[in-house]
A and B are shown apart, each in its own frame.
Chain A
Amino acid sequence: METIDLTRPDTAFIREVEKESGQTVSKCYQCGNCSAGCPMSFAYDIPVSRMMRLVQAGQKEAVLSAKSLWMCATCETCTQRCPNNIDVAKVMDVCRHMARREGKGGVYAVKTFWDAFMQSVGMNGKVHEIGLMVMYMLRTGRVFTDVDLAPKALPKGKMSILPHRAKGRKEVADILRRFHEGAADEQKVQARLAAAEQAGKQAATQEGGRS
């Protein structure tokens, strides 16, 4: 039987989830309403209410390794139905962010699809559906994915072979690049804000001295 050690909760993990999601996970009283409404439960290894319990118990490894994180469709049903108004979908979302940061492989096909999507956005500024499919198929080796749909969609002119490139695609690529370089890291931005505030105060003092 699978067991968890409740005597040594990773409190830093609990705090991190709470801070990033803005939710108080201890408010969850395990009613199971989220799991009952979750349309993706059939594809989960750990139902969403149990994911909440594992977060409460500080079980970082179990949470971040869960397949469920990658199979969540972000339909927001759990959030909508939580009697304690916990944004459960947001808790799932931030755990997924952490899993990425920890280098967890997740569900390969899903992660690869999302990564291909982001790459398509970075290249064109807009998503190019066929380009995204090709990238996905090459990476997963699932070269027959949806080939049955091509004869339906292509004659309708609904999928363009060439991407619709935005003029601002470099700007979008820069957003992604800066993100990966850590430009939006909280401490860095906070420090900059504090420095700017300090500079503003000094300027005000000098101004006051002059007048």
Chain B
Amino acid sequence: MSAVSLGYYPGCSGLGTSLEYDASTRAVCRALGITLQDIPDWTCCGSTPAHTVDHVLSSALAARNFAQAETAGIDDVITPCPSCLKNLRNALEHMEDDLFRARVDALTERPLTRPHTVKSVLQVLVEDIGLDAIKEKVTRPLTGMKVVPYYGCLMTRPASTMRFDSPEYPMSMDNLLAALGAEVLPFPLKVECCGASFGIPKKEAVTRLSGKLLDLAAGLGAHAVVVACPLCQMNLDLRQEQINAANNTHHALPVPYFTQLVGYALGVPEKELGFDKLIMPLAPAFTAMQEACAKATAVAEKKPAAGKTEATAGGAA
């Protein structure tokens, strides 16, 4: 794998509620030889609120970031957040239409001069770096850790815009986690909505929808729900107690970002991965993993021993 250099759009939550996603993304990219160049003085993509107001406005907020990227000679951008990704992609797509682009330019007053691309961190890891290359670098396999991958709505939807993996039953994160050695459980709700940004104005949406996700994950015996979206993570982790209270459940499921687990498996020091930022501690998942490993080893050691006992017994008879 030769060195890769990419523009990086962290997204606003990377400065706050998803600090650990940003930190672990940077650490994983370093470990895999990807150089990230931050878009200088990037600003908000507009997220959901902007596109509920107007599509030209939403695209203009996104487009300013490409204009900023151009000042640093950046063409190709990656972002960890699926919501940012969707807005940035939508803007580029809509701006292929001349009139739409002229309307966006009327707001930004900074017409773009170069073509741009934008991808998710997950897509770059799976498609550009490749699972084999990642697998080769694993020094701390996650053997024995049972995980369910949760992609959320936007990582693969709408398919025409995201052009990545299956919109109904994606497998990229499944395969990535399996390459790290984890036991990946099939998770039928992997693209079901978590309640998105309704946590504040309509909490019931989150306690209800995220509640279903946690119920199923726990029912499957998962040690962790692995996510790729800051909003999903916040709903499932920070709001887990609210969810428990609303649904009379007692879940205590850790909700790490996939980048945190990739980083761990690649041997990145834990302090660079922000495990301490997770509300539901990740430690029990590692304990469960070690216990499973110890059990497997014990069984493996016992087997030949058991065979011997049998043989002895047979001989005695």
Interface residues in B183-232 by Cβ distance below 8 A to A read 192-193, 195-202, 204-205, 208-209
Chain B residues lying within 8 Å of A171, measured Cβ to Cβ, are 43, 64, 108
Q: Are A43 and B154 interface neighbours, CB within 8 A? A: no
Chain A residues lying within 8 Å of B208, measured Cβ to Cβ, are 42
Q: Which residue of A lies closest to B162 (CB)?
A: A76
Q: Which residue of A lies closest to B192 (CB)?
A: A39
- Please list 21 pairs of residues, one from A and one from B, whose beta carbons are closer than 8 Å in the complex, sorted by A's number: A43-B205, A74-B48, A80-B168, A93-B51, A97-B52, A109-B201, A110-B202, A114-B48, A114-B52, A118-B49, A121-B50, A126-B43, A146-B200, A152-B241, A158-B18, A166-B41, A168-B68, A172-B43, A175-B60, A178-B106, A179-B56
A114 with B16, Cβ < 8 A, contacts A43-B204, A73-B205, A126-B44 known:
no
CA distance A100 to B41 in the complex (A): 31
B164 on interface, CB distance cutoff 8 Å: no
How would residues 121 to 149 of chain A score, 1 for a CB under 8 Å from any chain B CB and 0 otherwise?
Answer: 10001110100010010000000011011
Q: Are A175 and B107 interface neighbours, CB within 8 A? A: yes
Q: Are A75 and B107 interface neighbours, CB within 8 A? A: no
CA distance A40 to B106 in the complex (A): 35
A156 with B277, Cβ < 8 A, contacts A117-B49, A178-B106 known:
yes
CA distance A118 to B43 in the complex (A): 12
Chain A residues lying within 8 Å of B102, measured Cβ to Cβ, are 189, 192-193
Q: Are A112 and B201 interface neighbours, CB within 8 A? A: yes
- Shortest beta-carbon distance from A208 to chain B in Å: 25
Q: Are B53 and A175 interface neighbours, CB within 8 A? A: no
A residues neighboring B (CB under 8 Å)? 39-40, 42-43, 71, 73-77, 79-80, 87, 89, 93-94, 96-97, 100, 107, 109-110, 112-115, 117-118, 121, 125-127, 129, 133, 136, 145-146, 148-149, 152-153, 156-160, 164, 166-169, 171-172, 174-176, 178-179, 183-184, 186, 188-190, 192-193
Q: Give chain B's interface residue range (CB within 8 Å of chain A).
A: 35 or more
Q: Are B43 and A125 interface neighbours, CB within 8 A? A: yes
Among A89, A145, A179, contact of B107 (Cβ-Cβ < 8 Å): A179
CA distance A11 to B282 in the complex (A): 57
How would residues 28 to 46 of chain B score, 1 for a CB under 8 Å from any chain A CB and 0 otherwise?
Answer: 0000000000000111101
Q: Which 5 A-B pairs have the closest CB atoms?
A: A75-B153, A109-B201, A114-B49, A39-B193, A117-B49
A97 with B200, Cβ < 8 A, contacts A172-B61, A175-B60, A175-B64 known:
no
B residues neighboring A (CB under 8 Å)? 12-13, 15-19, 41-44, 46-57, 60-61, 64, 68, 98-99, 102-104, 106-109, 153-154, 157-159, 167-168, 192-193, 195-202, 204-205, 208-209, 238-239, 241-242, 276-277, 279
Among A74, A110, A126, contact of B15 (Cβ-Cβ < 8 Å): A126
CA distance A151 to B195 in the complex (A): 23
Among A89, A169, A179, contact of B43 (Cβ-Cβ < 8 Å): A169
Q: Which of B64, B103, B153, B196 has the most CB of A within 10 A?
A: B103
CA distance A94 to B125 in the complex (A): 35
Chain A residues lying within 8 Å of B193, measured Cβ to Cβ, are 39-40, 73, 75, 77
